[in-house]
Structure 1
Amino acid sequence: MLTPTAYGLAILLNLLVAFIGARFLLQPVPAAAGYGVPSQPSAYLTVKGLRDLGYGVLGLALLAFAGAHAAGWFMLVVALNPLGDTLIVLRNGGTRAVAFGIHFATAMVVLISAALLFAL
């Protein structure tokens, strides 16, 4: 039972991150508003989009080709991104609800995913 849960959560999170990256590339202004810090189109939004899209695809590749242990380490390191996003939102006028309800909560789910992958 643990294996489908661990892989399922990791796949879902990586697909979600890839989707968020694609949204920042295709619809940067609405994506920035959803991030918690509204912005005008800029190179920074494109960078965020590429970062997230790349992390999502890399996570899926690790799951497919390197296994649970490598994917667990990846998820552990990737949890730093939503933790950093929490601080960015707080420091730039975003709401605490978005900072903690979206970004910090995401970091916690990513850390749970890492723990599940390490348990396999």
Structure 2
Amino acid sequence: MMTPFAYGLAIVLDLFIIVIGVRFLLQPEPAAAGYGVPAPAGAYLSVKGVRDLTYGLVGLALLAFGGATASAWFMLVVTLAPLGDTVIVLRNGGTKAVAFGIHFATAVAVLISAALLFAL
């Protein structure tokens, strides 16, 4: 019973970050505002888009070809990205609601995903 949920959560999180990455590439300014630190379109926003898109694709590839343990380690390490995003938003004038309600909550969800995958 836990196997479908563990894999399902990981897939949803991977697809979610792919969507965010694509949004940063196609609509950089609205994506930055949603991130919590509005910024004009430029190289930084494209880098963020590529980073997020890559994380999602690597996560899906590990789920498909690497198995639960490899995916769990990936999710554990990737938890650092939304934790870092939390700090970035707070240090750059973003609201606590966005920092904790979006980024920190995402870190918790990714950490839960890692724990579920480790449990398989």
TM bin (shorter chain):
over 0.9
Match of 1:22 in 2: 22
If the length of structure 1 is used for normalisation, what is the TM-score?
A: 1.00
Alignment partners' CA distance in 2, 1:14 and 1:40:
26
Q: Which amino acid aligns with 1:111?
A: L
Aligned CA RMSD, in angstroms, stands at: 0.3
Q: Cα offset for 1:8?
A: 0.1
Q: Cα offset for 1:72?
A: 0.2
SS in 2 for 1:117: helix
Output one character per residue of 1:28-73: Cα deviation in whole Å (capped at 9) or x when no partner: 0000000000010010000000000000000000000000000000
Output one character per residue of 1:8-27: Cα deviation in whole Å (capped at 9) or x when no partner: 00000000001100000000
Q: Cα offset for 1:5?
A: 0.4
Match of 1:62 in 2: 62
The total of aligned residue pairs comes to 120
Alignment partners' CA distance in 2, 1:80 and 1:9:
18
Match of 1:40 in 2: 40
Alignment partners' CA distance in 2, 1:21 and 1:79:
16
Alignment partners' CA distance in 1, 2:38 and 2:60:
29
SS in 1 for 2:104: helix
Q: Cα offset for 1:101?
A: 0.3
* Deviating 4+ runs (over 2 angstroms): none
* Structure 1 stretches lacking a partner, 5+ long: none
Alignment partners' CA distance in 2, 1:42 and 1:7:
35
Alignment partners' CA distance in 1, 2:19 and 2:114:
20
Alignment partners' CA distance in 1, 2:89 and 2:41:
17
Matches within 5 A, 1:80-95: 80-95=80-95
